[in-house]
Amino acid sequence: LELFVVAVSEPKLTFVPGADEMMLQCEAECWFPEPQVVFLDDQGSEIEAKRSQRDEDPTGCFTITRNVTLLATSSVTCKVHETHSNQTRMTHLHIPGSCKSS
């Protein structure tokens, strides 16, 4: 008998205002084991993240924060996936036309 423990949460997707560009931030809080976090555009293609931060608390919980520059797309999805347990959580954000950058 083998016991495999996992911890997951819903990712949070928020706007982060910058000096010259608008960014989106995705945070996957308290996951175990450590997940992969990716951004997807409205076509399902991966958007390259600019910055990533990884924190591990004393209990072994991982919090991953990634930022991406807001592109000319109508929506962004933050997808968090942990391969060992095949757990996936996604958060989707529709982007109004006035927020899009080119």
The predicted pLDDT at position 98 comes to: 52
The total of structural domains in the chain comes to: 1
The predicted pLDDT at position 100 comes to: 52
How far CA 43 is from CA of 36, 50, 90, in Å, comes to: 20, 20, 15
Q: Is residue 79 assigned to a domain?
A: yes
CATH number at residue 82: 2.60.40.10
Look at phi and psi of residue 20 and say left if phi exceeds 0, alpha if psi is from -120 to 50, else beta: alpha
Whole-prediction pTM: 0.86
pLDDT in tens, 61-71: 999 999 998 87
Look at phi and psi of residue 17 and say left if phi exceeds 0, alpha if psi is from -120 to 50, else beta: beta
Look up the domain containing 26 and give its range.
Answer: 12-99
Q: Which helix (H) or strand (E) holds 71?
A: none
Q: Is residue 6 assigned to a domain?
A: no
